[in-house]
Structure 1
Amino acid sequence: MSDRCIELEQAVSANRRAWDDSARLHRDNASWRDLTAGFAVPGYSTFDATMTRTLEGLRLQGQSGVQIGCNNGRETLSLAAFGAERCLGIDQSAEFLKQAEILKGIAGSDCEFLCSDIYTLPPGVRRGFDFAVITIGVLNWMPDLGRFFQAVAGLLRPGGRLVIYETHPVLEMFEPDSETPHLPAYSYFSTAPTVAEQAITYDGSSGQAAPPSYWYSHTMSGIVMAVIRSGMAITGFEEHPHSNRETCFDVYENRQAQVPMSFTLAAVREAG
């Protein structure tokens, strides 16, 4: 086994422990109450305006979808609002998937959830999906984008579509909580992961100690080429001036010298 494989497996296992440990902080708060109330209403969706417009353009009625890195399942369940059927959410955190099952029960959904590392999917995993969805933060938890997108492509049927809605890599250069948030703090081309030992929360409010986790920065060219090399053809790409991650990054919005803050990318799995 090569050092690269050892490093990948160690990072993936560490991130699983960190997410499982952090799951408790995402229950019994205002966001969780909003989700439980929302999914009791037919047609409820947690997607923002950008992703809603993107998904509506795909005309997903009757189509099967898979979300990689589904967390507590809120977005996988939201796909039903666009007419998608027979959807699957994949995540390696068993603790977050327990929350997904609760929300599934509230929604009365027939979607499924699978606890698995995307790099080592079980042999009997469902495949041949019409579309796949990847959203905020998933790519940065992936040590190897090439293997990741190969696995994603393998879940799609020929002609199946991929939609990514992610943080723009340029934002990884900045430290929003520093005294000089608008000065680049990190190299755009850095390959070493950032190691954190705090619990993972969406609003950054916890500060509680947690098992170490590894966050990887990827360049836009690295993302694009990994998609292409997996056997998918890019059909759309758009950069956005708004943030789709923690609120501390809002400091970079609405500036005269505006940086790209998020992006959407569409691709299709080629035949053969």
Structure 2
Amino acid sequence: MDEWAELNRRHWDERAAPHAASDNYAFSQFVEDRQFLSEVIRFDRPRLGDLTGLRGVHLQCHIGTDTISLARLGARMTGLDFSPASLTQARILAARTGSPTDFVEAEVYSAPEVLEAGSFDLVFTGIGALCWLPSIRRWADVVATLLRPGGRLHLREGHPMLWSLQDGRDDDLLVVDFPYFEQPTPTVWDEPGTYVETDHQFVHTTSADWSHGIGEIVTALMDAGLELTMLVEHDSVPWEALPGQMVKLPNGEYRLRTRPERLPHTYTLQAVRR
């Protein structure tokens, strides 16, 4: 594991328990209601289609709420993440809910070493995952390796235009301040908190991430042997990505308060292995 991956692993290890304890991830609702689904999966359920009997893998699954939600829709799911602390929480949730979901510890780029190549009907990647990967081409190769011929990638992510914007503004301007295109070196952050409410005082506050443009993502997938079948841009995002500039919608998503048509907030992409 290189220095940036190790830095980020420590970052996510420390956040696993506070995230699992927060209302945002709704562990108690998962336990109380065996039909409950995460907000991310509910948002894209019409685009996911019938998952009954499909074998799926969720790359960068964190604490497993989206993974278990996909299993509740009928898929036989495996979650993969590089954070052992996150997987501990995911396994606790699976046990408490009686979910048969499996969880495997590995970096994304090492997934073909621990999972059976060419055996998955569905590769799922959710919100806030790709930015932790330095090379989108290596990721696309992993996706293609895991999918069987005719298997499908489903990706919903923060839009690279959203990632490029300066946040914390007290006006309604959208200011591009960070890279849109993939760069060889990451953007390094030092932030004391996390995106859920918690009283935890974090020690590992530094993290590193990378941007990947829409064209770079699509081209990498095509070059890896996948055919694009869906690309939908959305004007909402599942968290308050630009604090002070957004309003919460009835479905739990956030949208720019003023002229939301200016910004693609997220996108859903699907591609099939030829």
TM-score range, shorter chain: 0.7 to 0.9
Identify the residue that residue 258 of structure 2 maps to in structure 1.
Answer: 255
Aligned position for 2:107: 117
Q: How does 1:57-136 map to 2 (within 5 A)?
A: 57=49, 59-85=50-76, 87-121=77-111, 123-127=113-117, 128-136=119-127
Query: Where in structure 2 are the equivalents of 1:216-227 lying within 5 Å?
Result: 216-227=210-221
- Quote the Cα distance in structure 1 between the aligned partners of 2:197 and 2:157: 18
Identity %: 31
Query: Matched residues in 2 for 1:241 and 1:83: separation?
Result: 29
Question: For the residues of structure 2 that align with 1:210 and 1:150, how far apart are their CA atoms?
Answer: 31
TM alignment of 1:85-234, pairs within 5 A: 85=76, 87-121=77-111, 123-127=113-117, 128-180=119-171, 182-186=173-177, 187-189=179-181, 191=183, 192-198=185-191, 201-203=194-196, 208-234=202-228
Matches of 1:258 and 1:144 in 2, distance apart?
Answer: 28
2:249 maps to: none
Number of aligned residue pairs: 259
CA deviation map 1:93-122 (0-9, x unaligned): 000100001100111111100010111236
TM-score (norm 1): 0.86
Q: How does the TM-score come out when normalised to structure 2?
A: 0.85
Change (3 A) 1:255 1:180: closer
Corresponding position of 1:9: 2
Aligned to 1:269: 273
Give the match's secondary structure for 2:151: strand
The two structures, once aligned, show a CA RMSD in angstroms of 2.3
Partner of 1:72, secondary structure, is coil
Is 1:19–1:200's contact at 8 Å kept on the other side of the alignment?
no
- Partner SS state of residue 60, structure 1: coil
Q: 5+ residue gaps in structure 1?
A: 1-7
Q: Deviations over 1:222-269 (max 9, x none)?
A: 111111112111011110111133454562525335211010000001
CA separation in 1, counterparts of 2:45 and 2:94?
20
Q: Could you tell which deviates more after superposition, 208-217 or 168-177?
A: 208-217
Contact 2:161 2:264 in 1 (8 A): yes
